[in-house]
């Protein structure tokens, strides 16, 4: 699966940016919302944040050349403890540091489905961060607010550019991911739908998802 022609520097910046967006959502989770449902049917907010935390706990050892057999079961189960935000933040810092090593971009870490070029691994993480940022935004705020379209000091465009790139790249791969059960069938959206709506619909999520109402 090839995820487009971007330099390692650009891919690193996209990944860092997606991590920033997810980080904003994690820090916005109210104290009483960690058990709230999310668009990911089997995960509440805590389980979703734990999923991303575990995903990024794997990054440093995988980029260092360890295999899943080497790592074993050390990251199984809940890793968030009593302070989920702090655990996520520390994990994200370690993941960012691992990706900051220029030599890792020439490697092919061994993922669950075999050796994978580092730039493709980075894309997968970027897409997962964005999709789950939307999940968290929906779970804790019915309006699903996400960071606005600000170019700030970025060198590779705006938030819309990032989401559009992930959507276009994922669209070229989506059938293979559906075969292994990662994504459901796409949801139809209007032709003028915005970038976030197109991305989440491509993944099989309903852009109109709202938390279920408690039984009366």
The per-residue pLDDT for 215 is 61
From the list 195, 175, 58, the residue with the least C-alpha distance to 186 is 175
Q: Indicate the average pLDDT of the chain.
A: 88
Tokens for 53, please give them.
Answer: 């935390």
Alpha-carbon torsion angle 164, 168, 173, 177, nearest 10: 40
pLDDT at 9: 84
Q: What is the pLDDT of residues 77-121, one digit of tens each?
A: 999 999 999 999 999 999 999 999 989 999 999 998 899 999 999
Residue 6 has pLDDT above 60, yes or no: yes
CATH number of 8-202: 1.20.120.450
Q: What percent of the chain has pLDDT over 90?
A: 67
pLDDT surpassing 60 at residue 49: yes
| pLDDT (tens digit per residue) in 57-73 | 999 999 999 988 899 99
Q: What angle do CA 79, 203, 159 make, to 5 degrees?
A: 80
Report CA-CA distances (Å) from 168 to 53, 191, 202.
26, 15, 10
Task: Look up residue 70 and give its two tokens.
Answer: 């080497």
Alpha carbon distances (Å) from 81 to 52, 53, 87, 147 = 14, 12, 8, 27
């Amino acid at each position: 699966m090839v995820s487009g022609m971007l330099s390692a520097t650009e891919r690193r910046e996209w990944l860092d940016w997606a991590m920033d967006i997810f980080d904003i959502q994690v820090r916005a989770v109210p104290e009483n919302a960690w058990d709230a449902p999310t668009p990911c049917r089997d995960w509440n907010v805590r389980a979703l944040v734990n999923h991303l935390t575990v995903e990024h706990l794997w990054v440093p050892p995988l980029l260092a050349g360890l295999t899943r057999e080497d790592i074993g079961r050390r990251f199984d189960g809940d890793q968030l403890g009593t302070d989920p935000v702090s655990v996520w933040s520390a994990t994200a810092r370690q993941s960012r540091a691992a990706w900051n090593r220029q030599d890792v971009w020439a490697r092919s870490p061994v993922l669950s489905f075999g050796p994978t070029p580092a730039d493709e691994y980075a894309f997968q993480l970027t897409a997962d961060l964005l999709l789950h940022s939307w999940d968290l935004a929906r779970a804790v705020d019915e309006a699903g607010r996400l960071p606005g379209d600000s170019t700030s000091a970025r060198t590779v465009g705006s938030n819309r550019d990032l989401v559009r790139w992930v959507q276009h790249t994922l669209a070229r791969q989506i059938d293979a991911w559906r075969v292994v059960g990662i994504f459901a069938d796409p949801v139809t959206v209007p032709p003028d739908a915005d970038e976030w709506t197109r991305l989440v619909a491509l993944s099989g999520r309903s852009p109109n998802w709202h938390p279920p109402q408690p039984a009366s």
